[in-house]
Structure 1
């Protein structure tokens, strides 16, 4: 790939990454950027506002696992100044598309700095290591504020005279090269946005990258970041209140594919799925039979379909076990603007409400 990579550990990386490449002078008007899928695109739009022109490759209700790039997508990428990707091998088609487009802008890996869940830990979501206490949780957000303050100090000190480049081999690429599990993903679960703490890391990486790409509007990006993070924190408390009241014997969720590991760990739930991390994977008959037995033995009363998957198998499982379909969850994509999950915040709220209503009744 010809692209230069902005690989940010946190907002404080502005200082570390302000190297020797002069800041490009963009044309008047919003900066053209590309985000690979709808959830990431929504975050970029929230931070960039009117100062970015966002093209999202895999749109609402789209499945990034089976996405096939089009010539129109290649043209959008070729014109982009910044390309925002999830990373963790979520976009297996990215390098092929980037090369076809001749992309030579800046590549931003939104998951950089996230503590990714190894694929083989998906059998142990009941450990719930990420959300032990409210105090720890508050500490994470306080730390994020300190990072933001440090970044703004650096932003002023450097006077926006330098641009950022970084080695293309970020930590997650190194992890991914160590081995592969599942089908189209590497050794780590890429669905990191399902945790609100991780969402703040996404937002910090996006904000720092936009501030570097368009320093004249950096102050606006940081203001937008602060407002957005406050909304994420408030939503986290709302979701926590909904889910902590669920009894222990009603905290197992059966859904279509294994996309909720971070949500499960963070909020103290257990998720089971017949499909693996990728929707391209095919569940074995033995896996399906084991899941049916578990639903019957554990008295699981509801299963949940997903917006991006073929849900016929899950509906058959529900019929075979007398479980009800508790509703639709959004895992890898937002709904359209008229749906219940038109933004990242809407998606998280909808999923938590759907789970609470079905499992708590």
Structure 2
């Protein structure tokens, strides 16, 4: 009981500065834990089965983790399909899920600052899946010099994510370590295949048209893999974005380079990019996916689908095949 109460005090301290409702939920949750005891391993965030529960911060990580876990672990995502990950505000239900999980996975690289408080305040194992990737820095705006967090947009980097997951899962459930290793090896082969497909597809874009213009600067890693020049309206999704200066800069670039198509991401408004289209005569090439998968019946229900969808849309837009 004293140990539980001590952890509760840590959770309450960590929740200061967040919404009052979330902080209040943390207090209620802690009192409940103190009264009822700590949940046993495997009786975690989901339906209460006997599988250990792995909780990820967003849907892309959940899909990758599920491929590594197979049927040995129960994998869930805090955020739902379509959620904007950068400025997400945790709910009381999220706190309850986090407190009952057996392992929490997050991307790191400053992506989920909103979730770090709960990870640090809860007595739950935690792994950062981006550890070991070759990080690219943001080159513009107030985020200049900070790591670009969208490392998963390179399937090569996701192979490193897989290795980190295999290690974390094997520590969580040693009896199935060989299964996780085999699953990871098989999935990394699929990642290499989808990366090769992406590079081959985008190689058909003529040199003069190899500029990827998007709303957010979320494609640095994909652009590096495919040999594209990345241009964006804003560097990182935030509450206030798309200033007149940023839109003007994008308009000038598209005009000067005769960019045939521009794009925007699924989790933000495409209105600023529509202004670029209206001012330049460029085509709106479509909606790309980055921070979230779609629902199961949507265009990108898995991470591999996401890479295929985005590379196809970019290729069609920049070569004029879509029209």
TM-score calculated relative to the size of structure 1: 0.73
Aligned counterparts of 2:90 and 2:162: Cα–Cα separation in 1: 26
- 1:282 maps to what in 2? 241
The verdict on how the C-alpha distance between 1:85 and 1:186 changes in structure 2, with shifts beyond 3 A counting, is farther
**C-alpha separation between the residues in 2 aligned to 1:87 and 1:186?**
16
How far did residue 182 of structure 1 move?
3.2
Task: Report the secondary structure of 2:264's partner residue.
Answer: strand
Name the counterpart of 1:255: 214
Candidates 92, 102, 106, aligned match of 2:113? 92
Deviations 1:133-173 (A, max 9, x none): xxxxxxxxxxxxxxxxxxxxxxxxxxxxxxxxxxxxxxxxx
Task: State how 1:163-182 maps to structure 2 within 5 Å.
Answer: 182=142
Task: Give the aligned partner of residue 76 of structure 1.
Answer: 97
CA distance in 2, matches of 1:26, 1:73: 18
In 2, the alpha carbon distance for the partners of 1:265 and 1:90 equals 20
* Contact 2:138–2:235 (8 Å) recurs in 1: no
Partner SS, residue 58 of structure 1: coil
What's the secondary structure of 1:256's corresponding residue? strand
Cα distance in 1 for residues equivalent to 2:258 and 2:295: 34
- 2:131 is equivalent to residue 112 of structure 1: yes
The CA distance in 2 between the partners of 1:186 and 1:49, in whole Å, is: 38
Alignment of 1:327-342 (within 5 A): 327-342=286-301
SS of the residue corresponding to residue 169 of structure 2 reads helix
Residue in 2 that maps onto 1:345: 304
Runs (5+) with no aligned partner, structure 2: 1-6, 12-39, 43-48
1:267 maps onto 2:231 in alignment: no
Q: Deviations over 1:281-332 (max 9, x none)?
A: 4233222112111111110111112100011111121111111111110011
CA distance in 2, matches of 1:29, 1:86: 26
Give the CA deviation at 1:55: 2.0
Equivalent in the alignment of 2:252:
293
> Unaligned regions of 5+ residues in structure 1, if any?
4-24, 123-180
Corresponding residue for residue 197 of structure 1: 156
Say if 1:69 and 1:97, in contact at 8 Å, map to a contact too: no
Q: Pairwise CA RMSD of aligned residues?
A: 2.0
1:62-100 per-position Cα deviation (integer Å, ceiling 9, x unaligned): 11112110111101100111100000110011133336x
Q: Check conservation: 1:88, 1:189, Cα contact below 8 A.
A: yes
1:32 aligns with 2:60: no
Query: Which secondary structure does the structure 1 equivalent of 2:127 belong to?
Result: strand
- Determine the structure 2 residue equivalent to 1:236: 195
How many Å separate the matches in 2 of 1:36 and 1:230? 25
* Residue-by-residue CA offset, 1:205-232 (whole Å, 9 max, x unaligned): 0111101110111111111111101111
The offset of 1:196, in angstroms, is 1.3
Compute the TM-score of the two structures, normalised by the length of structure 2.
Answer: 0.82
Check the 8 A contact 1:55/1:76 in 2, yes or no. no
Q: Deviations over 1:20-77 (max 9, x none)?
A: xxxxx94582111110011111111111122111220112111111211011110110
Contact 1:38 1:56 survives alignment (8 Å): yes
Displacement of 1:247: 0.8
Q: Is the 8 Å Cα contact of residues 182 and 277 (structure 1) preserved in structure 2?
A: no
